Chain A
Amino acid sequence: MRTLITMAALGGAVLIAACGAETDPDAEAPAVAAKLAEELPPIEVREGDGLPATLPAGLIWETNDEDPTFASPDAQRGGTYRTYMLSFPLTLRRVGPDSNGFIAPYLRYNQLGPVTYHPQTRRPIPSLATHWAFGADGRSIYYRLNPKARWSDGVPVTADDFVFAVQFNRSKAIVAPWYNNYYTERIRDVKRYDDYTIGIQGADAKPVAEMHYQYGIGPQPRHFHMLNDTWVQDNNWTIEPNTGPYQIGKVEKGKYIEWHRVEGWWADDLKYFRHRFNPDKIRLRVIREPNVAFQHFLKGEIDSFDLTRPKRWHEKATGEAFDAGYIVKYWFYNALPVPSSGMYLNTADPLLADRNIRYGLAHAMNFERVIDTVLRGDYERLPTFQLGFGAYDNRDIRAREFDLEKAAEHFAQAGFVERGADGILAKDGQRLSLRVTYGRPDDTERLVILQEDAKKAGVELTLQLLDAVLSFKQMQEKKHQIAWMGWASSGLSPRYWEHFHSANANKTQTNNLANYGDPLMDELIMQFRASADLDQRVALAHRLERMVHDAGVVIPSFQVPYTREGAWRWMKLPAWLGTRASGQLFNSQALSAGLFSSGGLFWIDAQEKERTLAAKDEGVQFEPSTVLNTDYRGG
């Protein structure tokens, strides 16, 4: 759910609408005007909820134009950025059935929210809104919209579009239960105060720093949507107006989708959007096999390619195009929330209920060896459960290291002293044998190394590889002993309730994979959730993270705190390559990870392209080049 929450909150609740491609433009204008003139029905508000009828007095309006910019003034406009997707989407809708395909990020991130977060300072910066203020109840937020904001079809973005967003997302017509629920349970009220002023009320109070992330919903083009029983079918291939820099321009079903830069994009001159989103077009073509796509990249038919995985970086990304310097390799360390990957020990299991066994197990796992060998020293050991949230990180915690003596000591305390004939520890006939459930075949080679070295400590690991969906299902049903998996991380602060609160222990379909519960921890988690004070939250997070470590229910595995990409010479980046929050360098979208506004920094140098192609034809070589940037390593 983590990922989903992010998308909804920031990408806004926008939908895809039917663009009038076949409609006569003259006929459409009055229709839009008539639709805009309609009165919207009021939003249903529960008892105890609801925003004041008039804008409260004494609101302190804030904005942010003092943070540094992060795009390069050298950027050139123009060109086509060519990339690929593995399959053609089943729909161009942004919500509803089958809408979670390869193009979903492109659609979502071209629908702006009222604010986004600055990728360097992590502070809010204006987007559709210019100013914001917080209500006294701690759960409402007010926005002043930028009157210049326009939908891609030229219609102004107004307060009504935000009100409509709630009605839209609560509607059964869109067949999107998750959105229905979110906009009912989390978003309690949205009010229009004038054309360009709105208020949003959420379910509970949140720290000020996270209010936008939690409740800053995006608008929905109300002039475009007709909510009825056939909305889903009607909108499968319509193009919804959006507020971002790119709009779908050309579609050939099964082959490609081309995004075109919106002409005279309303936000071009906003401080934090200047010199960004430079290519005129983004062309996503269908290439069904990553290895085939890589061949296209080598030929220069794709402009950039992800090379993060060790095998790609070290083995595949070699050869002529690299040696001759036509393709440049980039290795960029970022500071994004790290996925919480590792072993989740099910404490409902009689063996793993003993903390000594859990500690012993952690000391019996030779992650260092896996990193040094099959991972080629490229990955890093993840020191603790959650990391990458700035001040919230508890950087004093170190993961338990591979140490056979310590492992033996802990196992001995649990009564496992004698080794059986096969070298595995046993107590009263029970062998120290544990099952690891996992869902990615590629992880087998990591696990077999852990498995072999665990034998030295007298532990037997049996490996259960399941289909990805089935393995997750089994974990959610808490049928595992050890779950080998990773939670995607996002947001501004770590999460504890879903993973460690006893309310989620020993229940199916929850994320508490350790089935762990501790009264003191429960109390601190609830305090953490309720607190709106940043310092207090940070202190609590540090303490909770330490408690997770002390409980020993998670053995953190690896982190990849960087992105590695290859790009043809003509693909240019700022001298600083990217930002703290750049998940990818060659990211053409407005937002990265649905939260920080870090994308669209690159540009295409037309002259360089000509030069490179000519050099390639003539066999002229450049210096091979690998650019390493460690500015944000370790935070």
Chain B
Amino acid sequence: MLSPLAVKQWRRFRSIRRGYWSALILTATIVLSLGAELLVNSRALVVFYQGELFFPTYGAFLPGTTFGLDYDFETDYRDLKRVFAQRGEGDWVLLPPVAFNALENDLKTDSYPPYSPSLRSGHYLGTDSTGRDVLARLVYGFRTAMAFSFVLLAFNYAIGIATGCAMGFWGGAFDLLFQRLIEILNNVPTLYVIMIVASVVVPNFWTLLAVMVLLGWTQMTWYMRTSTYKEKSREYVVAARALGATSVRMIGSHILPNAISVIVTFIPFSVAGGVTLLTALDYLGFGLPPPTPSWGEMLSQGTSHLESPWIVTSVVAAMVVVLLMVTYVGEAIREAFDPKQFTYYE
């Protein structure tokens, strides 16, 4: 059962059209990207071969020999489609709308990549400098960036909120100690730490995340600390304490729900921040290792291949649209949670 306040906030959020629509579109895109293998993939959706149906999308790879081809590495389904058409034995292949994955190099013998966008070749946004499909890399790059951003947010907020709350609730020496610790962490240059880490191990999704969380959880602590301090001295908390409530109950049932509204408004901006951070790192070459599809890598490729404008245009357009939408959602949430209802959103 939603509280009347929550219902009010939700109504208010819905009434801000661009934020609301942005939220819908973003959610839809993220959900769709989870099933990206079905939309953008070099593996066929369905193959009908000699009376049998195959669904290669998920699961183990099917060597070419499965379909009577003469090689035992992964089947080239686009080629298979041509082969079936030539044979004319009633076999067929159903390819996804974009029949390329983000890693394969679709290279031609008569010209050099990057290839410009073309309906005929199936590269709707062209290819990058090694013949990889720009659209495929955009989609998978989006998924990686979003996943990274959300996981980062979850960790940062979990640690940040817990610590901030504890600092505010207990105060005293504990508070002082953590304030200093946070100040120290805030002064560690993230980029250098990542460069050092990258020199020791090949950075992957989780190592990058670990470094970011290690240095990034501090942002939320200050807000939580302040609002906990504020709520702690309110009468209802004092009353709960008088009734003999435990610390956990006081924080969990009384303080957190009231302090959390501050946090909620930060979420969209943290998501945008996470995406930008990963993109920046990839752009500089300290992010996820190649050939991981990533927006930062595309951006750096695009800027060094300005004569092939489709690379840089695609990725810049995608970034602008996504970040803009996230910002709209953020604005709408902030507005919806604003206790001063007499202000108007313009």
Please give, as numbers and ranges, the residues of chain B lying within 8 Å of A315 by CB-CB distance: 307
Residues in B neighbouring A404, C-beta threshold 8 A: 71, 73
A423→B107 contact, CB < 8 A: no
Given the known inter-chain contacts A369-B107, A452-B104, A455-B74, please indicate yes or no for A374 contacting B130, CB distance below 8 A: yes
CB of A626 within 8 A of chain B? no
Q: Give the distance in Å from the alpha carbon of A285 to the alpha carbon of B132 in the complex.
A: 40
Cβ contact within 8 Å between B131 and A463: no
Closest to A372 in B: B109
Are B198 and A376 neighbours in the complex by a CB distance under 8 Å?
no
- Give the A-B contact count at a CB cut-off of 8 A: 77
Q: How far is the CA of A453 from the CA of B109 in the complex (A)?
A: 16
| Stretch of B58-66, B145-153, B205-213 lying at the A interface | B58-66
Tell me if B130 and A448 are in contact (CB < 8 A): yes
Is the CB–CB distance between B112 and A374 below 8 Å? yes
For A455, the chain B residues whose CB sits under 8 A away are: 73-74
Given B59, B109, B290, which contacts A447 in the complex, CB threshold below 8 Å? B290
B130 touches A470 (CB 8 A): no
What's the minimum C-beta distance from B285 to chain A, rounded to whole angstroms? 5
Contact at B105–A452, with CB atoms within 8 Å? yes
On chain A, the residues within 8 Å of B74 by CB distance are: 423, 455-456
Q: How many residues of A contact B (CB 8 A)?
A: 35
Q: Which B residues, 257 to 315, have Cβ-Cβ distances below 8 Å to chain A?
A: 285, 289-291, 307
Residues of B within 8 A of A470 (CB): 199
A residues 415-445 near B (Cβ < 8 Å) are: 419-423, 435, 441, 444-445
Q: Which of B73, B132, B291, B307 lies in contact with A458, CB distance below 8 A?
A: B73
Which residue of B is nearest A318, CB measured? B307
Contact A465 B285 (CB under 8 A): yes
Chain A residues near B63: list those with CB within 8 A. Answer: 419, 423
Given A374-B112, A456-B73, also A448-B61 (CB < 8 A): no
Asked if B61 and A422 make an inter-chain contact with CB atoms under 8 angstroms apart, the answer reads yes
- Asked if B289 and A421 sit within 8 Å, CB to CB, the answer is no
A473 to B61, CA, bound (A): 38
A298: CB under 8 A from chain B? no
Please state if B105 and A373 are interface contacts (CB–CB under 8 Å): yes
Looking at the assembled complex, report how far the CB atom of B284 sits from the nearest CB atom of chain A, in whole angstroms: 10
Tell me the bound Cα distance from A303 to B46 in angstroms. Answer: 61
In the complex, are the beta carbons of A466 and B198 less than 8 A apart?
yes
Q: Is A601 an interface residue (CB 8 A)?
A: no
B-facing mask of A395-428, CB < 8 A → 1, else 0? 0000000001000100000000001111100000
Kindly list chain B residues whose C-beta atoms are within 8 Å of the C-beta of A465. Answer: 285, 289-290
Q: How far is the CB of B342 from chain A (nearest CB, A)?
A: 54
Contact call B60/A421, Cβ cutoff below 8 A = yes
Q: In the complex, what's the smallest C-beta–C-beta distance from B34 to chain A, in angstroms?
A: 20
Cα distance, A448 to B74, chains bound together (Å):
17
Q: Which of A408, A448, A458, A466 has the most CB of B within 10 A?
A: A448
Q: Does B72 contact A (CB under 8 A)?
A: yes
A444-B294 Cα distance, complex, nearest whole Å = 14
**B107–A373 CB distance below 8 A:** yes
A395 to B285, CA, bound (A): 39
Contact across chains for A452 and B289 when beta carbons are under 8 A apart: no
Are A457 and B289 neighbours in the complex by a CB distance under 8 Å?
Answer: no
Q: Give Cα A458–Cα B72 distance, bound, in whole angstroms.
A: 9
Asked whether any CB of chain A lies closer than 8 Å to the CB of B96, the reply is: no
Chain B contacts for A457, CB-based, 8 A: 73
Q: Are B291 and A451 in contact (CB under 8 A)?
A: yes
* A/B interface sample: 30 pairs, CB < 8 A: A314-B112, A315-B307, A369-B107, A372-B107, A374-B112, A376-B112, A408-B72, A420-B60, A422-B60, A423-B61, A423-B63, A423-B74, A441-B285, A444-B290, A444-B291, A448-B103, A448-B130, A448-B132, A448-B291, A449-B105, A452-B105, A455-B73, A456-B74, A462-B289, A463-B291, A464-B202, A464-B289, A467-B195, A470-B199, A474-B199
19 more contacts with CB within 8 A, not counting A373-B105, A435-B202, A463-B290, are: A315-B307, A372-B109, A373-B112, A373-B131, A408-B72, A419-B61, A420-B60, A422-B61, A423-B61, A444-B291, A445-B129, A451-B291, A455-B73, A456-B74, A457-B73, A463-B291, A466-B198, A466-B199, A467-B195
